[in-house]
Structure formats: structure tokens, C-alpha cells
Amino acid sequence: MVHELLEEGLPLFVMGPCGIESEELVFEVAGFVNRLRNKYSNRAVFVFKSSFTKDNRTSHGSWAGPGLDEGLRILEAAGNRYDLPLITDIHIASQAAPVAEVCHMIQIPAFLCRQTSLLDAAGKTGIPVNVKKGQFMAPENMQGAVEKLRAAGCPLVFLTERGSFFGYGDLVVDMRSLAVMNRLCDGVIMDITHSLQKPGAAGRITGGDRSFAVQMARASAAWGIRGMFLEVHPQPEIALSDSAVMLNFEDAETVLDAALLHWEGCSHEL
């Protein structure tokens, strides 16, 4: 499913709530993503994403999600209802095979981008893998992750830029990394919302500033990247994860419009 969509060469949008808070939420956001797919049917490709476990949390008491079995059940149900391709994160090697039975792509979290056993297991599933660049990694050093996946048999490897640590409580995006990583893989994705985080800046939770989302999308699209990652939620202010940077439906659509306007006016050469 994903292979055929990606071959069309259209901009790729990976969208969904940060975590699977409930079946109702997942279905609501999946329905929104489906509406976007219908609206932009000849201009973009959409993949639905949400995490069954949020394993990297600031506080011990932070919400972490429903877990593997229940999370995959909910994702599969939403994917079937709206005929959406799916992607989700894995955190340990044993999760790769069951996730590949439900999802069309696997995502490797940024803090785990160097984990050989995780990359090997993901690559052996035979489906595309998206690796988020660690906030501590130079873009050229992501070559190791790509080589591990390809050695394991991964058919398509994507790398995602999500910002680099700027001191202890902020992230910045060096747009040059988009061109550097593009030479290493099959396509670069810009994580619009996570790159606007301020890790730990809100005390026991991660802060951030979503107000820069449109500008980040415009700049990224102008660089000619392959796709964008956007976390969306009907009420971001009450979201159980990433509430400071997730976008509501109206703002997400505004970002899409801005991104596509710049995408379609660029040469797409990194």
C-alpha cells in the first residue's frame, strides 16, 4: 500500500495524535486525516500515526498509553474504517513483527536511532522504516542507522529531522541537515511539531511553542523534502502528551495549505 503511494511522488504527510489516548480520539483524528486525503487527493499522500506506548516521558507519573496489544487493535480498526495506511513506533525488537502485521511502516524513536537490535528487527519485517534523527546526532552520522536497516533487508528508509538540542531546554533546526540526510536515504521527513518542543522546559512535562508551525512548514517545503510529520488533536490543550506543540484541526489544515503552496512552487532538489 505505502510503496504504491510513495511511487506517485506526491508530498507525504504523516499525521495523527501523539499517543492513543482512546479509541474515540483515534477514530476522530483518523476521520479528519481521511477528509484531508479526500480534499488533497491529487496533491498529497497521507499516513496515519499514533503511538501505543509513550516510553520517553519527562515524569515517572506521566501517561504512557494503552500498550502494544490494545494499541494495535485500535490502530487496525481505524485503518480499516478509513482505509488509511498506518505507522507507529517500536521501542524494543520484539515489537517489530506484531507491528508489521498491522502497520504499513515502522517508526524508530529519536532516542533509539542507534539501537542495532531495534533497527535490525525493523528492517527484517520487509516494510518501510522511518528513523527519527536523535536530537544529539549530527545528520551525517545517521548513515549508520540507514546501513543497518538496509543490511537487514528494509526496502525503503526514511530519516526524520526533529531538531537538535540547544542548551538544556530548547531545540533548533539546522535546515542544512535536510540536504545532508537526503543523500543517505530514500527521503527526508520534517517533524514540524516535535521540532518546536522545549524539552523539560515546563517542569514535569515537555513544553514548546506551536505558533511557529506554519513558518517551519514553509521553510521545510522550500527545501524540497519528501514529507512532513504533524501531530494533531481536536483539543491540544488537554492532550495527554505533547499538548504544547500539537495542532488542532484548523491549524493543521492551515499548515498543509502553506506547505503545499511552497512545495508546488519549488524544484524539489536537495
- DSSP count for the chain of H helices, then E strands: 9, 12
In a domain, 269, yes or no: no
Q: Is residue 199 part of a domain?
A: yes
- 241 or 32, which is more confident: 32
The CB density around residue 60, as the number of other CB atoms within 10 Å, is 6
State the angle between helix axes of 23-39 and 68-82 in degrees (0 to 180), rounded to the nearest 10. 30
Per-residue pLDDT, 166: 87
Q: Which residue has the cell 535536510?
A: 178
Query: So what's the pLDDT on residue 37?
Result: 96
**For the chain, percent of residues with pLDDT exceeding 90:** 75
- Structurally, how many domains does the chain consist of? 1
* Inside any domain, residue 214: yes
Is 186 contained in some domain? yes
What is the structure's pLDDT at 268? 55
User: What domain range is 250 assigned to?
Assistant: 2-263
Give the model's pLDDT for residue 242: 81
pLDDT, residue 208, reads: 75
Residue 268 lies in a domain: no
Average pLDDT over residues 128-147: 97
Asked whether residue 191 is domain-assigned, the answer is: yes
Residue type, 195: S
Task: Quote the pLDDT of residue 170.
Answer: 87
CA distance linking residue 37 with residue 40, whole number of Å: 5
Residue 232 inside a domain? The answer is: yes
The answer to whether 139 touches 181, Cβ cutoff 8 Å, is yes
**Separation of alpha carbons 202 and 244, rounded Å:** 9
Q: Percentage of residues in the chain with pLDDT exceeding 70?
A: 90
Write out 47-89 in H/E/C secondary structure: EEECECCCCCCCCCCCCCCCCHHHHHHHHHHHHHHHCCCEEEE
- In this predicted model, which residue has the larger pLDDT, 70 or 222? 70
Question: pLDDT grade, residue 56 (50/70/90)?
Answer: low
In a domain, 148, yes or no: yes
145-195 pLDDT per residue, tens: 999 999 999 999 999 999 998 888 788 999 999 999 999 999 999 999 988
Q: Residue 187: which CATH number?
A: 3.20.20.70
Residue 7 has pLDDT above 80, yes or no: no
Q: What is the mean pLDDT of the chain?
A: 91
| Residue 206, pLDDT above cutoff 90 | no
- Average pLDDT over every residue of 9-25: 95
